Amino acid sequence: MGGEYRVRLLRRDQVCERVCRAGSKDAAVAQIGPDEGVVLDVQRVRPARIAGAAGKRRRISLGLLLQELSALLEAGLALIEALEALSDKAGAGSRQVQAVLAALLKELYQGQPLSKAMQAQPDVFPELLVATVASAEGSGQLPQALRRYQHYELRIENIRKRVVGALLYPAAVVAVGFGVLMFMLFFVIPRFAVVFESLQALPATAQALLWWARLVREHGMALGAGIAGVIAAAVLALRTARIRAALAALIWRLPKLRDVAFLFVLARFYRTVGLLVEGGTPVLQALELSRRLLPQRLAARLEQALAELRAGKAVSETLAAHGLTTPVARRLLRVGEHSGDLGGMCERIALFHDSTLDHAVEVFGKVFEPLLMLVVGAMVGTIVVLLYMPIFELASSMG
């Protein structure tokens, strides 16, 4: 059965490679003409195999892959040698990583640059990474570009973890409060209501408890299934793009949350622009690539700003005029324009907004967590009061 073979050649004191399609190694060597060089090595090219079902997104540790690749390139290895070393290192332990690296190597053997090879796997390599690599290939700064992108991803992930971490405690409080509420509704109240079943004249609160107790005894399974169904439907709804868009629109309508969301979006936007500009991407192209990070209303503003920037207007004044800066960001952009370090200033803007965002998240936790505890406690306390109200009413009527 035929296949592809990678032939290494020594030509004019330089090692080069050629990919041949042949039935065997000898047949591949036979395709090399005498004027093409001396054959050094022949290896069969392993086909890229995708683990899992077709069309399924391949999940690999992109940060680790970029870190190892940049380290090998900085150590002096050629790009193909570095990728081959990573493929050998992955071995059979990670079929997905091997498949990704094999697909990259196949494109490189055919003479494609790394950016084009990455672009052929959009489910693995984001467009931002492809643009960063494409800008660095012409300048010979590929290891530095890969490391910059890795640091960019780490900073974005750290921000995401801080925000998620701030929401974990409130989520745990809500979950525990909901569990206590269900326990009291389905276990405590039905047993407590037995006390009032033998009495004749009952106050309204006792009658309500008896009604709920009978409902749980007769239709407890249906009630439980209904509540579980509502929870499942809510979880599934939160995963849909329409509901998420509605929640995002709600956040942008609330004054305080809108300010925090704006800072988060701006920090990510300027960090991305800074990454691209420092890697050699023109400012206009960097802004266009970063546009998809913005929500719809801000993306529309950026589109208008880009039209003015193409006409030759200053970046700082144009972005500020369209509400895409803060006062600090505007001043730093102006400094970057005058000093020629716009990429570095964009990174400084992101760092400044990160610290502001950290403070906002901290304040949110200090204010929201006690408020949430108060709400959960009030709900549980209301049920406890309702349990004892009939006893107090009966005692007062007997007195």
Per-residue model confidence as pLDDT tens for the chain (399 residues): 456 677 777 666 555 666 666 777 777 777 777 667 777 677 776 544 333 333 344 567 788 888 888 888 888 888 888 898 888 887 655 778 888 898 999 888 888 889 889 988 888 898 888 888 888 877 678 888 888 888 888 888 887 888 788 788 888 888 888 888 888 888 888 887 777 776 666 777 778 888 888 888 888 889 889 989 998 998 888 888 788 878 878 888 888 888 888 888 898 899 889 988 888 888 998 898 888 888 888 888 999 999 999 988 999 999 999 999 999 999 999 999 999 889 899 989 998 988 888 888 788 778 888 888 888 888 888 888 877 777 776 667 665
The pLDDT value recorded for residue 1 is 45
The pLDDT value recorded for residue 238 is 82
What phi, psi does 13 have (nearest 5°)?
65, 20
The pLDDT value recorded for residue 48 is 40
CA distance 99 to 71: 21
Burial 347-365 (b: 16+ CB within 10 A, else e): bbbbebbbebbeebbeebe
The pLDDT value recorded for residue 199 is 67
The pLDDT value recorded for residue 318 is 93
Give domain 144-399's CATH number out of 1.20.81.30, 3.40.50.2000, 3.40.50.2300, 3.10.20.90.
Answer: 1.20.81.30
Cα distances (Å, whole numbers) of residue 43 to 19, 91, 153, 274, 333? 10, 17, 35, 42, 52
Torsion, Cα 141 145 151 153, to 10 degrees, reads -170
List, in sequence order, the alpha helices (H) in the chain. Answer: 25-30, 62-74, 79-90, 95-109, 114-119, 127-137, 142-183, 189-192, 204-238, 241-253, 255-278, 283-290, 296-310, 315-321, 327-339, 342-398
Show Cβ contacts of residue 270 under 8 Å, excluding neighbours closer than 6 positions: 329, 346, 347, 349, 350, 353
Show Cβ contacts of residue 210 under 8 Å, excluding neighbours closer than 6 positions: 193, 196, 197, 202
- Long-range CB pairs of 61-70 (<8 Å, 24+ gap) are 62/124, 62/125, 62/129, 62/153, 63/150, 63/153, 63/154, 65/97, 65/100, 66/129, 66/146, 66/147, 66/149, 66/150, 67/147, 67/150, 69/146, 70/143, 70/144, 70/146, 70/147, 70/150
State the CB neighbour count (10 A cutoff) for residue 74: 14
Instruction: Output the furthest CA–CA distance in the chain (Å, rounded).
Output: 117
The pLDDT value recorded for residue 322 is 92
The pLDDT value recorded for residue 53 is 34
Q: Look at strands 38-44 and 14-22 and give their pairing.
A: unpaired
CA distance 377 to 371: 10
The pLDDT value recorded for residue 2 is 54
The pLDDT value recorded for residue 320 is 92
The pLDDT value recorded for residue 51 is 35
> pTM surpassing 0.75?
no
Q: Shortest CA distance to 334 belongs to which of 323, 282, 326, 287? A: 326
Residues paired with residue 10 on neighbouring β-strands, in sequence order: 15, 38
Show Cβ contacts of residue 279 under 8 Å, excluding neighbours closer than 6 positions: 132, 135, 136, 141, 145, 148, 343
The pLDDT value recorded for residue 319 is 93
